[in-house]
Structure 1
Amino acid sequence: MPSLTGAVVLITGANGGIGTHFVHEALARGAAKVYATARTPRTWDDERIVPLALDVTDSASIAAAAAAAPDVTVLINNAGASVPTPGILSHSDDEIRANVETNFLGPLFLARAFAPILSATPGSAIIDIHSALSWYAVAGIYSATKAALWSATNSLRVELAPAGVHVVGVHVGYVDTAMAANVTDPKLDPADLVTQALDATEAGEYEVLADDISVQLKSALSAPLEALYPQLARTTED
């Protein structure tokens, strides 16, 4: 069973609102060391926190991080990117690639790079931050990349289970961070999200539905598509 007590944790996107809470909560739960990664790492006032440069869209940077942090027991794939407007056809090549590389390929390549390290340590874990929009395609390319990450997490969970690596997927709607500053819908406190994610990890659970919208959207997956996307029913009637 994974435990944060004595763990060595690597967190991507550690400078952000959710990432910062992961750093502090991991230490509060007894982590021995936290690698706080970002493209431009910030300074921290705790010697247990090790700033580490990491660009999740760059394979060389991922390899360098794995070499610099060979003692990691918990990998938290938190870094993410979004686009300013919804849609999957209306964005530039660069915007689409940035979302795919940050939200999907980055976590996958990090899991691949750290799998040998994690597999060598009993009680190790990977935590992937998905989105409720993994199950609801209204965010276009962002939804598509989060859906891909959800699928990859399922595959990682099955593939790494024999090695004793526990893989947790976290789904959430809007979180009260800078990324959702312009959102007027209800937003979850990032501290609440982090608490739920780490509670689930230490309890040996596989999935976190952190808010009501995540619960509702997952339950809607078994319904006809027209129920989830009523605009399809209108199109058919026309």
Structure 2
Amino acid sequence: MTSDTEKAKEFYNVLFGWTYEAGDEETYGGYITASKDGKLVAGIMQKQADMGAMPDLWSTYLRTDDIKATTEAAAANGGQVYMEPMDVPEQGSMAMYGDSSGASIGAWQFGQMKGFEVAAEPGSPAWHELLAKDYDSAVSFYQKVFGWDTNVMSDTPEFRYTTLGAGDNAKAGIMDAAGVLSDEVPSMWSVYFAVENTDATVEQALALGATVMHAAEETPFGRLATLIDPTGAVFKIIQDTGQSA
């Protein structure tokens, strides 16, 4: 969701090699799909004036086979329904919730649009992570609302982390962020994009008008950096350095 679609398109085209196709304005509100080497990887939408001070941001949508039942489950398990299920002609159905930790999360029921078509390759989504201030509640929410089969990756006082799936089959994670996020920052989802070289990508992003939120660092999962794109949306990049947790 961006305040300047043209600026966002240019930035990610140069940074990740994305190409675009815009939907009909009347039917799809000008929604723009982004592809890498002909495969869908993301979407870009113009932020509306009535959204007020909401920042530009990347959102994660989770698949559901019954969006009405998922919406009911979200409300029954400590969540809030921000947007009731809405049909997107031919493409599918979407809804938006606040989960039990306060983070915004989308739901998508497949029509013709099947979501992103490639993952963990350069220029495509590599990981989706919830920074949750109410960790236990959040884990329970995703188990009950989206049917997550979870795996506790770490449960030390310093680092509590649960994944959707386990090991190489893990698809997303929930981190206890109670001691990480400041009081004024809510729980949030963050998106990681895979890159071939984190340091080179950071340098290129800076030249394109981005800013660095967290400098590149080595982690057990690869070389990671957090960037803010030229319109203000935060995202992470990660290079596979052959390490493992």
TM-score, normalized by the shorter chain, greater than 0.5: no
Give the number of the structure whose residues are more often helix, by fraction: 1
